[in-house]
Chains A and B, each alone.
Chain A
Amino acid sequence: SQKIEQNSEALNIQEGKTATLTCNYTNYSPAYLQWYRQDPGRGPVFLLLIRENEKEKRKERLKVTFDTTLKQSLFHITASQPADSATYLCALDITGGYQKVTFGTGTKLQVIP
């Protein structure tokens, strides 16, 4: 069956360090992989998208990698800040924009001052 797995346990890191979140998937061939941030009581907010033919994408302190052989994406936040504390969701789009996206369960990140 198809699965999208993210670390279900919360990730606690010290301010200033790099946070690395993992998204693994099975039985999918995604055209795009997306990352979202969700704060308590709010809807998810889009952060980054990476295509199947891209290895890495950066935006300010954020970096996403995409390994279609390993079926894994890594999401990095460098120089983390307490304001980065939130739940981060990965989502797969298997048809390149024409169908629904499927979300992972999310990883809760806590950046400790």
Chain B
Amino acid sequence: QVQLVESGGGVVQPGGSLRVSCAASGFTFSRYSMHWVRQAPGKGLEWLVVIEINGATTYYADSMKGRFTTSRDHSKNTLYLQINSLTPDDTAIYYCVKEFENDKWFFDHWGQGALVIVS
């Protein structure tokens, strides 16, 4: 079955950087666009970015441009999110999510999330 397992969360000081990874299994990773969604404690969901199959095409939410970078490695079936210049407002659970099918921009599988605390 489809599994998305995030890792790399933790406590980071303001101004620091962090890379969250997402190991994918149970489906052909190279055939699906992948997204990141975050959720601040007690708050709603916020879409961050999509990376398409080719790994070169990405679309970021406007507020994420510049500090967030996503990439993917098909040889490792892994998705990455690099976050720089962290602020306390970046404290959230970061979810790796799989698109239902290509160009269907909703999500049928979610990882368990990686908690990032900026303090």
Q: Do A and B come from one complex?
A: no
